[in-house]
Amino acid sequence: MTTADLTLDAALSEWSAQYGDHTAVTDGQTAWDYRQLYEKTLVLADLLRKRGIVRGSRVIMQMTNTVWFPAVFFALSRIGAVPILCLPAHKELVIGGICRNAKPAAMIFTRRYLKFQYEEMAQNLAAQYGCAERLFFEDEFAALTSADADAALERERAVTDLPSADDLAFLSLSGGTTGIPKLIPRTHRDYLYNARVTAERAALSAESVMLNILPAAHNFALGTPGIIGTLMCGGTVVMQKYPDITEFFANVEAYGVTITSLVPALVNMCIRYRNLFDDDDVSSLRYVMVGGAMFRPEEAEAAERLMHCTVIQVFGMSEGMTFMTDCDAPEQVRWHDQGKPSAPEDEYRIVDADGNDVPDGEAGEIIVRGPYTIRGYYENPDANRRSFNSAGYYLTGDRALRTPEGNVRILGRVREQINRAGEKIMPAALEEWICRSENVLECAVIGVPDAELGHKICVYAVTEKPMTLQELNAFLKGEQVSDFYLPDLLRLTDALPLTPVGKVDKNELLRMLEQEERS
């Protein structure tokens, strides 16, 4: 069997043999070396089997960033059970909807996170889906795995009926923010490959210390290269439970963090923090990977300057394909572009509305296909007809262009384009101009349906001082912005609403505006 034929669990067993007593994962309270992580995984697998979790059982898994996340994830993968990876921010609406489609056999929840108590929701859902006997809370695992561990290890080591590389390893949730997310099926083989190619591009090694602040259930944090990519290289994963920036920099210093993955909203929090307090030692930090949403060149420049690191831009998706800038890419590329596909077999095209390739430098929808990119959602023929073409390309819905150097540059969502009286406006471009105002800390532009114009342009902004629409437009005119780009509405707010993984939630902004107009 070659490494390419391993399951996630078999791969962990190899890493454990190879990296033994090197620290694999720590969360500040508990630290495990590779051997301990693997043994915990075996003991957990034995425990979960005894409770009736079997190959193919679908398991709702909503856990926070602690050492138990990888242990439970690998234990389920050893059994051949299929975790459905929910983020802590998902509540009953989403998880209930997923249960209806996926009919889980077991559930694993956090008991509480930030201000939310999950216990009651968990018990209700477990009762509804017949999982009461197979409902676990993450804070129980320490006690449940401490008794009789040697016998459990022995039993589990004797198991021979294990899954194979092309079996379904887990289901993750699509990033859409309206309705019930679609389920994304990933196999052991495709996911290990996803982690391997991205780990290579991010130069991970046994000396790497990865700070994991994004929710572990998200693809960026889990395997791009994230937790799995770090473990396969023999590095150390630091799990940070809360998205607290003071703690983030304390962790960078305490653990000698070399690399981390952030969404732009978190980078901006880091930039603001470092502008005020720059006394944490960040000298160990080499790379900050940034992806998940539009990221402006000025933000990339400020992140590198204030965090003494190199930015690696990532255009990724839970459906698979990942574009990255190289570790040694020149400034011009690192700050403006999202790089190249991670694997040599990855294919992409940039196409117009009729599906024809556009010339380099022109914008179109980017569509992707490759060895670790899914060819369809889980049991969802309707969505598959909409999201994949007949050649098996995944239609991302993202607008992009290819630069002369062969990198991609993401321009926003195709459908986000605002059509104001026939003029086409890309929100990302306007956001970039508005953010040039010193008074604006953050902003988001949305199109609002309008009977006369088709769409009006609305700006939500977080500002230092109050600002009127007239003042904003005077500023934009001073910047020589075309007239049809001038916003029609301005709303000041203390903070922009974020999706479960920390991207600006434009659907929520539209809902806020509609609510305001109704009241």
Residue 399 main-chain phi, psi, to 5 deg: -90, 135
Residue with tokens 């006394």: 279
Which two structure tokens, joined as six digits, stand for 460?
Answer: 């939500």
Cis peptide before 225 (omega within 30 of 0): yes
Tell me how far, at minimum, the Cβ of 135 lies from ligand J2J, in Å: 27
Residues 293-332 that bind ligand J2J (CB under 6 A): 293-295, 313-318, 322
Size of the site for ligand J2J (CB under 6 A): 22
Phi, psi (5° rounding) for residue 261? -120, 130
Min. distance of Cβ 292 from ligand J2J in angstroms?
4
Q: Please report whether residue 505 would count as binding ligand J2J according to CB under 6 A.
A: no
Q: Smaller CB distance to ligand J2J: residue 80 or 316?
A: 316
The three state secondary structure string of 311-330 is EEEEEECCCCCEEECCCCCC
Q: In the complex, what is the shortest distance from the CB of residue 451 to ligand J2J, in angstroms, rounded to a whole number?
A: 29
Smallest distance from the beta carbon of 410 to ligand J2J, in angstroms? 4
Nearer residue to ligand J2J within complex by CB, 105 or 293: 293
* Pairing mode, strands 183-187 and 209-212: unpaired
Residue nearest to ligand J2J (CB): 316
Q: Which stretch binds ligand J2J (CB under 6 A): 231-239, 289-297, 301-309, 376-384?
A: 289-297
Q: How far is the CB of 237 from ligand J2J (least distance, A)?
A: 16
Whether residue 325 contacts residue 333, with contact meaning beta carbons closer than 8 Å, is answered with: yes
CA-closest candidate to residue 396, choices 363, 369, 429: 369
Minimum distance of ligand J2J from residue 471's CB (angstroms):
29
Angle at 261 between CA 438 and CA 328, to 5 degrees: 85
- Of the two residues 443 and 501, which places its CB atom closer to ligand J2J in the complex? 501
| Residue/partner pairs of 164-169 with CB below 8 Å, 24 or more apart | 164/5, 164/7, 164/188, 165/4, 165/5, 165/6, 165/7, 165/189, 165/192, 167/7, 167/80, 168/82, 169/7, 169/8, 169/77, 169/82
Q: Which is nearer to ligand J2J, 208 or 387 (CB)?
A: 387
Q: Provide the phi-psi class of 50: left if phi over 0, else alpha when psi is between -120 and 50, else beta.
A: alpha
Query: 80 vs 291, which CB is nearer to ligand J2J?
Result: 291
- Residue at token pair 């489609």: 101
Q: Which of 353, 366, 297 is nearest to 325 (CA)?
A: 297
Q: Which is nearer to ligand J2J, 194 or 251 (CB)?
A: 194
Candidate list 410, 445, 461, 498; residue touching ligand J2J; CB under 6 A: 410
Length of the chain: 519
- 431 interacts with ligand J2J by CB under 6 A: no
Residue 342 makes contact with ligand J2J by CB under 6 A: no
**291 in contact with ligand J2J (CB under 6 A):** yes
Segments of 227-375 assigned E as strands: 236-239, 259-262, 287-291, 310-316, 322-324, 340-341, 347-351, 364-369
Q: Where are the alpha helices (DSSP H) in 61-158?
A: 68-79, 92-102, 119-128, 141-144, 149-157
Q: Which is nearer to ligand J2J, 16 or 172 (CB)?
A: 172
- 398 lies in the binding site for ligand J2J (CB under 6 A): yes
- Is 266 near ligand J2J (CB under 6 A)? no
Provide the token pair at 363. Answer: 């914008």
CA distances from 388 to 232, 321, 398 (A): 31, 14, 14
Smaller CB distance to ligand J2J: residue 134 or 218?
Answer: 218
Q: Looking at 88, 292, 376, 427, which residue binds ligand J2J (CB under 6 A)? A: 292
For ligand J2J, the binding residues in 63-92 under the rule CB under 6 A are none
Nearest approach, Cβ of residue 460 and ligand J2J (Å): 18
| Residue number, 156 or 337, with CB nearest to ligand J2J | 337
- Compute the least distance from the CB of residue 68 to ligand J2J, in Å: 22
Given the complex with ligand J2J, which of 106 and 311 has the nearer CB atom?
Answer: 311
Phi, psi torsion values for 169, nearest 5 degrees: -95, -40
- Burial of 420-450, coded b for 16+ CB within 10 Å and e otherwise, reads beeeebbbbebbbbbbebeebbbbbbbbbee
Nearer Cβ to ligand J2J (40/182):
182
175 belongs to the binding site for ligand J2J (CB under 6 A) = yes
Q: Which parts of 192-231 interact with ligand J2J (CB under 6 A)? A: 219-220, 224
Task: From 315, 381, 378, 377, select the one nearest 348 (Cα to Cα).
Answer: 315
CB of 228 to ligand J2J, least distance (A): 11
Provide the binding-site residues for ligand J2J, judged by CB under 6 A: 175, 219-220, 224, 291-295, 313-318, 322, 338, 396, 398, 410, 413, 501
